[in-house]
Amino acid sequence: MSGSERLTFKQIRYFQAIAEAGSFRRAADRLGVKQPTLTVQIAALEEALSTTLFERQRSGVVMTPAARELLPRARRIAEELKGFTDQAMGVSGQSTYRLGVTPTLGPYLLPRVLPAVHQRFEDLRLYVREAIPAQLASDLKSAVHDVVLTTLPLQGDELEVLPLFRETLKLALPLEHPLASKGVVSGEDLVGEAVLTIDEQHLYHRQVSALCESLGATVNRDYEGTSLDTLRQMVVMGMGITFLPSLYVASEIGDSDTLRITDVKGVNMNRDHALAWRRRSPARVFFRQLAEAMKAILDEQLADEVTLL
């Protein structure tokens, strides 16, 4: 690599933007630069690396195998540079971070805790994206997300995981179901029952399946919901029974007269949630502070609904 072919942070940032946007035009719009500027810089980057990064197509660009291998490292470089800048400015922890959340938790927890988080960290901005836990873990490791709020278990030696709280699961019954009029529902009552759940790409599907196996119930594979909302609607229509997370119940159902929500006597039904980030993240000290702040907020505002871990 000659002196005229030195890489620049700008080129790496442009490469990341094009890879994530899928086209030069969309990347230029996001970056606020002209498209010819991107073209020149990427051409210089490809020449410096002696490799082609993008295949140009009519609908946009496709990353080459080399580009796919380089993208996670480009994200880490961008993250390190951002951490360096934050620390130099004396505002570490007061910035914009990409927060990944699971769709069976985020919509029902974040609206209740983020206002208090904002009060504690006034300059903090969180760019929230939803994904299933397996995708969250993968995207966290490759620096698509800075931090994730997800359901345990979460694997990865390169990740730091701080458990936050335990959430109970509630049994949801259609009003015409024989168990709906029973004062106390026990585990024995669910033996042989067919239970609705969401599709198997979700960790929640596996958790409900394991719970059904322990109770002697079965998972109804003929009808699977795409979300907790569709599960609830199927129960209301009398298509079966299901388990719903307590935060979802509190947020979306409350004192509903369209279905019966109850605990199951003698059965511990719960799932654990945690905040996680990369061990080498420049913002790791702040993320520990954020996790502890979230636990304090949960203790103040949701102590009747969740148990701190």
Based on the fold, state whether residues 17 and 109 are members of the same structural domain.
no
Per-residue pLDDT band for 2 (boundaries 50, 70, 90) equals: very low
Taking all residues of the chain, what is their mean pLDDT, rounded to a whole number?
Answer: 88
Inform me whether the pLDDT recorded for 154 exceeds 50: yes
156-180 average pLDDT score: 93
52: domain CATH number is 1.10.10.10
Based on the fold, state whether residues 200 and 279 are members of the same structural domain.
no
Q: Which residue range is the domain that position 138 belongs to? A: 92-165+272-308
Based on the fold, state whether residues 263 and 176 are members of the same structural domain.
yes
Q: Which two tokens stand for residue 244?
A: 């719903």
Q: Is 203 exposed, middle or buried (0-12, 13-18, 19+ CB in 10 A)?
A: buried
- The sign one gets for the Cα dihedral 87, 92, 97, 99 is positive
* pLDDT tens digits along 40-63: 999 988 888 889 999 988 788 899
Based on the fold, state whether residues 157 and 286 are members of the same structural domain.
yes
Highest mean pLDDT: which range of 66-75, 247-256, 292-301 = 292-301
* pLDDT tens digits along 276-295: 999 888 888 899 999 999 99
At which of 63, 85, 107 does a domain end?
Answer: 85
At which of 41, 60, 85 does a domain end?
Answer: 85
Rg (CA), the chain: 24
102: domain CATH number is 3.40.190.10
* pLDDT tens digits along 178-203: 999 998 999 999 999 999 999 888 88
Based on the fold, state whether residues 212 and 248 are members of the same structural domain.
yes
Based on the fold, state whether residues 190 and 61 are members of the same structural domain.
no
Based on the fold, state whether residues 159 and 276 are members of the same structural domain.
yes
pLDDT-wise least confident of 101-110, 149-158, 162-171, 253-262: 253-262
Based on the fold, state whether residues 266 and 173 are members of the same structural domain.
yes
pTM assigned to the model: 0.73
pLDDT of residue 148: 96
At which of 85, 120, 139 does a domain end?
Answer: 85
